Amino acid sequence: MRVMLHACCGPCLLEPYDQLAAAHEVRVVYANPNIHPLAEYERRRDTLLEYARARGIETDVLPYRPQDWDAAVHGLEAASPSRCRACFRLRLGMAARHAAAKGFDAVATTLTVSPYQDLELICSAGQEACAAEGVEFLVTDFRDRYPAAVRRSRELGMYRQNFCGCRYSAIEAAETRELRRVERAGRRPQPEGRARS
């Protein structure tokens, strides 16, 4: 089977690619207009491309149009599961269109290696996106490979981001880190001291 693998970043590519490439012809597509700001998008992209080049992995980069992401999540900005589903739907829709245009049979995504992502949301968005383009969505669950992905990406010295990608996730991750810091210090968090306005 010819599989177009949507990749969110270099560290998440490692294990899913190796597993899929053992059984399929795999090409990678970087389609992530959710990532903010541009410098972060470029850093993740370049980390991915550097690894792909070293391994001889064929990779396509789709145009960065953050305005498409803004439109996709419009009205859902504060609603995390709904926002994330719209985000997955957009990115996997881009990958599905690209797969169909290139004559691929199926789409898979590296998003399912992360224990921090919602597997059901990813799969339902992926199935919807692929059905619209007439390609198959390959349901995967690579989460058991996450420790190996972390270990390998550290060994390779890859850039490892500490938030999912969009500007809201950057705020949410910073809030979570602050809460953990306060908890570690044995103090209760002060609401007025939180990052979000």
From the list 55-63, 99-107, 127-135, 165-173, the region that binds ligand SF4 by CB under 6 A is 165-173
- Encoded one letter per residue, x for contact with ligand SF4 by CB under 6 A and - for no contact, window 71-110 reads ------------xx--x-----------------------
Q: Is 9 in the site for ligand SF4 (CB under 6 A)?
A: no
Shortest Å distance, C-beta 161 to ligand SF4:
11
SS3 content of the chain, % helix, strand, coil (to 5): 55, 10, 35
Give the one residue of 14, 28, 94, 166 binding ligand SF4; rule: CB under 6 A: 166
Distance in Å, CB of 183 to ligand SF4, minimum: 22
- Pick the binder of ligand SF4 from 110, 112, 153, 169 (CB under 6 A): 169
x-or-dash pattern for ligand SF4, window 106-145, by CB under 6 A?
A: ----------------------------------------
On whether the CB atoms of residues 27 and 58 are closer than 8 A, the answer is yes
Contact between 48 and ligand SF4 per CB under 6 A = no
Q: State the number of CA atoms in the 13 A half-sphere of 81 facing the CB.
A: 5
Stretch that binds ligand SF4, among 48-56, 59-67, 166-174, 189-197 (CB under 6 A): 166-174
Distance CA(106)–CA(133), nearest Å, equals 10
Residue whose tokens read 């985000």: 87
Instruction: Give the bridge partners for 25, in sequence order.
Output: 2
- Joined together, the tokens standing for residue 73 give 């999540």
Question: What does each C-alpha distance from 5 to 31, 59, 104, 109 come to in angstroms?
Answer: 10, 9, 10, 5
Encoded tokens for 156: 């390779």
Distance in angstroms (rounded) separating the CA atoms of residues 162 and 67: 23
DSSP H helical ranges for 56-145:
66-72, 80-101, 119-133
34 binds ligand SF4 (CB under 6 A): yes
User: Nearer Cβ to ligand SF4, position 28 or 121?
Assistant: 121
- Single out the residue of 11, 16, 33, 165 in contact with ligand SF4 (rule: CB under 6 A): 165
CA distance linking residue 45 with residue 40, whole number of Å:
8
Would you tell me which residues interact with ligand SF4 (CB under 6 A)? 34, 83-84, 87, 164-166, 168-169
